[in-house]
């Protein structure tokens, strides 16, 4: 009888020990899950705050570029470059000086193009390739051929929206955000236009400076193309077929999720 009670007592002890161990494990697991969730939510909140700053900076650039484009387009001196049937040297010098003043007014403007439909030519003021006039097509055509495509209404370019572009000039690549101001709303039969080109490197630097995140900060357009990025996702990278973009398309507002990018487990925070 005594032996039976001893065995029963040891059995109860083992059961209590197992239960205590299980409760400890469950408590630790629950604490880990809750702590991880709280940490993710706090990280997401910090990320979204930083993303709002990035959005504000890029939106400010958009407004500034649009304002400058509108001022140039409606300037009486610059109007000579927009509508003249031929260029008189004296008037041309005054108009080019005024155009250069607009370019110098903002250190982030890389260049300004003026399209004259009467002459089918581009007058350019640039910190990189100087100030000159060139035909839009034909012999000695203007080097930035994408401008001719925009004027012909090709692609999805429109007014009041930045057009991310990669151009080539003298064996170098240049990233531009181009803002268009023109005389039509349907992008057909453009007769005069102003193109304000902001440096892509400048916006990338603004994004990284405004972002307090340890990883990469990307700006994507509605088609899933990177319009500001760096590292693994340089500008104009098509991310539309990547998992993180597909998952963001299923979400609205702001939030986060864990995904794999280039084989690495990554926390992706987003603001739409």
Burial 44-77 (b: 16+ CB within 10 A, else e): beebbebbebbeebbeebbebbbebbeebbebee
* Helix H or strand E encompassing 82: helix 79-83
Spans of all domains in the chain? 40-59+212-271, 64-203
Predicted confidence (pLDDT) per residue in 14-68, tens digit: 666 666 566 666 655 565 555 555 555 666 666 666 677 777 777 777 788 888 8
For residue 75, the model assigns a pLDDT of 92
* More confident: 236 or 120: 120
Report the range of poorest mean pLDDT among 123-132, 163-172, 184-193: 184-193
Q: How far is the C-alpha of 45 from the C-alpha of 31, rounded, in Å? A: 21
**Architecture of domain 64-203 in CATH?**
2-Layer Sandwich (3.30)
Residue 81 above 90 pLDDT? yes
Pairing of strands 121-126, 163-169: unpaired
Burial 223-253 (b: 16+ CB within 10 A, else e): ebbbbbbbeebebebebeebebbeebeeeee
Tokens, residue 133: 């006039």
Instruction: Over range 236-253, report the average pLDDT.
Output: 81
């Amino acid at each position: 009888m005594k032996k039976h009670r001893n065995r029963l007592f040891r059995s109860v002890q083992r059961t209590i020990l197992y239960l205590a161990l299980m409760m400890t494990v469950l408590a630790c697991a629950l604490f880990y899950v809750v702590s991880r969730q709280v940490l993710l939510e706090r990280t997401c909140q910090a990320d979204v705050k930083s993303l709002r700053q990035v959005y504000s900076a890029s939106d400010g650039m958009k407004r500034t570029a649009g304002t400058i484009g509108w001022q140039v387009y409606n300037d009486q001196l610059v109007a000579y470059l927009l509508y003249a049937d031929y260029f008189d040297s004296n008037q041309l010098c005054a108009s080019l000086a005024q155009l250069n003043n607009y370019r110098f007014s903002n250190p982030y403007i890389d260049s300004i193009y003026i399209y004259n439909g009467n002459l089918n030519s581009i007058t350019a003021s640039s910190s990189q390739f100087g100030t000159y006039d060139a035909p839009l097509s034909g012999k000695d055509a203007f080097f930035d051929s994408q401008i001719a495509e925009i004027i012909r209404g090709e692609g999805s370019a429109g007014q009041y929206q930045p057009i991310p572009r990669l151009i080539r000039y003298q064996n170098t690549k240049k990233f531009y955000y181009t803002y268009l101001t023109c005389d039509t709303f349907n992008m057909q039969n453009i007769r005069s236009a102003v193109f304000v080109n902001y440096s892509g490197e400048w916006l990338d630097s603004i994004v990284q400076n405004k972002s307090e995140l340890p990883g990469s900060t990307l700006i994507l357009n509605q088609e899933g193309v990177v319009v500001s990025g760096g590292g693994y996702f340089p500008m104009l990278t098509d991310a539309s077929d990547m998992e993180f973009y597909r998952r963001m398309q299923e979400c609205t507002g702001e939030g986060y999720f864990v995904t794999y990018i280039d084989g690495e487990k990554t926390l992706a925070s987003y603001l739409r």
